[in-house]
Amino acid sequence: MSRAPLIRAIAAFAVIAASLYVALTMRPTLGLDLRGGTQIVLETRDSPTVKADAETTDRTLEVLRRRVDALGVSEPTLARSGEQRIIVELPGVLDPSKAAEVIGKTAQLTIHPVIAVADANTKPGKGEQVIADEDGSRILVGPARLSGDDVGAAEAGIDPQSGGGWFVTIDFRGKGTREWPKLTGEAACNPSGDPKRRVAIVLDGKVLVSPQVNEDVACNVGLPGNSTQITGSFTAEQARELAVLIEGGSLPVPVVTVEQRTVGPTLGAAAIAASAQAAVIGVALTALFIVITYRLVGLVAAFALACYGLISYAALVALGATLTLPGLAGFVLAIGMAVDANVLVFERAREEYASRSRPGTGSAAAKQAGERREAAAAGGGTRLRQALEKGFRNAWSAVADSNITTLLAAGLLFFLASGPVRGFGVTLSIGVLASMVTAMVITRVIAQWAVNRRAVASRSAITGIAGIGRLRTWLNEHGPDLMRHHVAYLVVAAVVAAAALAGLAVRGLNYGVEFTGGRIVEYSTTQAITADTARELVADAGFPSAVVQTSGKDISVRTGQIGNAEVNRIEASLERGAGQVNKVRDELIGPSMGAELRRNALIALAVALAAQLAYLAFRFRWTFGLAAVLTLAVDASVVVGAFAWLNKPIDGVFLAAMLTVIGYSVNDKVVVFDRVRELWGERRKEPFAAVANTAILQTVPRTVNTGLGAIFILAALAVLGGSSLTDFAVALLIGVIVGTLSSAFVAAPLAIRFEKRNPAPPPQPKLKRAARPREGSGAVV
């Protein structure tokens, strides 16, 4: 007896147990778009003396880390991305203006002697400059005597016993321990109240503080350089911020903000709830559908789907992956795609069972009669078991190829996309791998155990694989010749693609701020106002050209590059007409970042098509690969054109949807071409068009059942996912429908045309494994 079933059973139990343990003991890491907060992407730039490279960016990151830590933000995250980017995530910080002001200070921290109070006639000498002090008065300061490199640490404190208020303690290092006593000693030689008795600490061309040296400090002696205390009428917040800026000192190179995202926690909570509802409803509908269609084995597949969800979630948590909003969508979508492997297996098992049931002639008839007698003696269990086993074996090629092509698309998302869209690539990849484990291991173990039960074997109809289904029965009886009009299908496909792409010329693409640069802010209000009223309020704030949209009590404002102060002005203007205004989303994309994202999107789509072509040409024939990729281009054109006609935004989430459409569509075409290859090897003398037609008819039930499973999930996402996920679900719904139809009516006809010009012979038939001769009787004691 083979040990393979036992090994699979042990592996299945181990995977489920480990996943359950991880799910119960570990918590997922939520992205800022789910828990609320601010993400700021900074880019280092060359200074006159220092080049911005990986080393200087790392040093800059450490300075920023000290500043962020001093802000008191819970669980901040700072990481370098590439050579010149730093990603700063600040959970719970919903007003990014203050955080950006503190962490983004770029100029050198310098300490200067104050020479005099300046007026309009003051002319600074060499190394001197006229700047405003902390009170707004203009002062003349001398050349810098110390820099941020001379400052060791700074800390805010308060003396509760003396009630002296908040102060800032500064510790110096290196040259600062020697230069600070000299600087303060020179200042102490001037009378009290004289501007020359002050010392100015300057950052980013602005005086942070310009304290006067105390009267008890002796002339030319100065304050000790190891530690100095600055007192004044500071509030707690002012003292802490001053300490942060002084201790953070100078950044090695300047930084600019190229991207900024702020999401309110209520939006994240709503997205989680909507995704959870979509998952529950979508999975329930999908499970109900496969149970009705495949009966007992469908029930097994429904249980395997639950295991899939557990395994995927546990893998995300164990890997420490950050779960984002598009990631949630990927998690839910992969549930629908997980059905595909089960459907492939069950349809192949149905075919095998039917083939073993058909009567034959001669020796074949005698052999089948013997098999039927053996099956009857065993209560029908042998034929069921053999059909199911062969179903898993025959479906493996199509399952592996289709999942690999989806993994290619997911990998491209991870390496070429940015932000939350990368999370979608991660969850989709994990979902694909988990679906293979659940279908080929867990479903296999339970289904084989079930069909071996005597009560099941004697009632083969309840298994769901003893009949081929009404759709396949009808197709077998009528056998329509779909490929007879294959040229007409190609003409229709060309017309549909041209009509879709006409939307690009007529309507144009509505690029989101991710691809154009700019700022988009979304508000929720207590009073519903019309779009015209909202536009007037935004125009009153100084932005008449802003794109303003309303939906009930939600207002979306899209502008060019504006700062946080301008956003606050828009918010204040809206409050005058819409009541209380809460900012739920704020995205700022710099022009360089937008151009880079747009370029990466085109590269991702081009590489996705090239990767699919290379893989399909390697696994099948170049004619199949070229036909599939040209069909993918048609599918993509239809989706892009539909978004152009509907004026839907083209953004990072749309990119995720497009690459998923490519992965799903090529998945469908792999199944068709896999069957074409198999049949053509067995029917080498038949015309290729006839073989392709038969392959399409045989794969229609799988295509329909898989498509319906995905549509249930996507429809739930479109209805329940809110504005964040609706466009994503709509793109995928269009892609799934178009991709399903194009597999039969575009990819196969193209392959027929290409094969007419291909001199290569048909593929060789699969070699059947020879049965090993039994040694002895097989009896054991």
| pLDDT category of residue 576 using cuts at 50, 70 and 90 | confident
Question: What does the pLDDT read at residue 329?
Answer: 64
Q: Are 102 and 53 in contact (CB under 8 A)?
A: no
Most confident of 327-341, 490-504, 577-591, 691-705: 490-504
- What is the residue whose two structure tokens read 């090993």? 772
Residue pLDDT, tens place only, 715-729 = 877 787 666 678 878
Type and span of the H or E element at 578:
helix 564-578
Type and span of the H or E element at 117:
strand 110-117
Which of the pair, 327 or 454, is modelled with greater confidence?
454
- What is the residue whose two structure tokens read 């995977």? 15
Distance of CA 603 to the CA centre of its chain: 17
Distance of CA 611 to the CA centre of its chain: 20
Residue-wise burial string across 439-449, b where 16 or more C-beta atoms lie within 10 A, e elsewhere? bbbbbbbbbbe
Residue pLDDT, tens place only, 453-508 = 888 877 778 888 887 777 777 887 888 899 999 999 999 999 999 999 999 889 88
Token pair in block for residue 138: 């203009």
Most confident of 8-22, 236-250, 759-773: 8-22
d(CA 300, CA 586): 45
Half-sphere exposure of 138 (CA within 13 A, CB side): 9
Residue 371 reports pLDDT greater than 70: no
Give the helix ranges, DSSP H, for 43-174. Answer: 54-71, 96-103
Q: How far is CA 56 from CA 19, 255, 259, 316, in A?
A: 42, 11, 20, 33
Token pair in block for residue 579: 């009541």
Q: Are 601 and 625 in contact (CB under 8 A)?
A: no
Give pTM, 2 decimals.
0.68
Residue-wise burial string across 268-301, b where 16 or more C-beta atoms lie within 10 A, e elsewhere? bebbbebbeebbebbbebbbebbbebbbbbbbbb
Name which of 624, 642, 639 is nearest 739 in CA terms.
639
Residue 266 reports pLDDT greater than 70: no
| pLDDT category of residue 373 using cuts at 50, 70 and 90 | very low
| pLDDT category of residue 377 using cuts at 50, 70 and 90 | very low
Residue pLDDT, tens place only, 394-428 = 888 777 877 787 787 777 767 766 555 666 677 77
Helices (H) and strands (E) in the chain, counts: 24, 21
| pLDDT category of residue 512 using cuts at 50, 70 and 90 | confident
State the chain's mean pLDDT as an integer.
80
d(CA 28, CA 17): 18
Distance of CA 654 to the CA centre of its chain: 11
d(CA 360, CA 150): 94
Q: Are 89 and 39 in contact (CB under 8 A)?
A: yes
Question: What does the pLDDT read at residue 365?
Answer: 45
Question: What does the pLDDT read at residue 378?
Answer: 45
Residue pLDDT, tens place only, 200-244 = 988 767 788 888 988 888 898 888 878 888 887 788 878 887 787
Distance from the first to the final alpha carbon of the chain? 15
- What is the residue whose two structure tokens read 């979902």? 431
- What is the residue whose two structure tokens read 């094969």? 755
Strand, helix or coil at 684?
A: coil
d(CA 449, CA 456): 10
Name which of 559, 665, 658 is nearest 600 in CA terms.
658
Question: What does the pLDDT read at residue 197?
Answer: 92
Number of Cβ atoms within 10 Å of the Cβ of 576: 11
Report residue 178: phi and psi, to 5°.
-95, -35
| pLDDT category of residue 100 using cuts at 50, 70 and 90 | low
Residue 338 reports pLDDT greater than 60: yes
User: In sequence order, what DSSP letters do the residues of 161-202 get, joined into one string?
Assistant: TTT--EEEEEEE-TTHHHHHHHHHHHHTTSPTT-GGGBEEEE
Residue pLDDT, tens place only, 342-356 = 888 888 888 888 876
Question: What does the pLDDT read at residue 325?
Answer: 67
Amino acid at site 364: A
| pLDDT category of residue 631 using cuts at 50, 70 and 90 | very high
Strand, helix or coil at 255?
A: strand
d(CA 81, CA 61): 11
Which of the pair, 749 or 43, is modelled with greater confidence?
749
Residue 439 reports pLDDT greater than 70: yes
Q: Tell me the mean pLDDT in the region 626-651.
A: 89
Half-sphere exposure of 563 (CA within 13 A, CB side): 6
The DSSP bridge partners found for residue 87 are 41, 79
- What is the residue whose two structure tokens read 């529950």? 280
Question: What does the pLDDT read at residue 594?
Answer: 66
The DSSP bridge partners found for residue 38 are 90, 262
Question: What does the pLDDT read at residue 742?
Answer: 93
Which of the pair, 519 or 273, is modelled with greater confidence?
519
Q: Which of 287-296, 532-541, 758-767 has the lowest mean pLDDT?
A: 758-767
d(CA 518, CA 660): 27
Cα angle 268, 718, 407 (rounded to 5 degrees) comes to 80
Q: C-alpha dihedral over 249, 253, 259, 260, to 10 degrees?
A: 0
Question: What does the pLDDT read at residue 361?
Answer: 44
Q: What is the DSSP letter of 149?
A: G
Angle between helices 622-646 and 591-619 (to 10 degrees): 150
Q: Tell me the mean pLDDT in the region 432-459.
A: 84
| pLDDT category of residue 57 using cuts at 50, 70 and 90 | confident
d(CA 204, CA 343): 64
Share of the chain above pLDDT 70, in %: 84
The C-alpha R_g of the chain, in whole angstroms, comes to 34
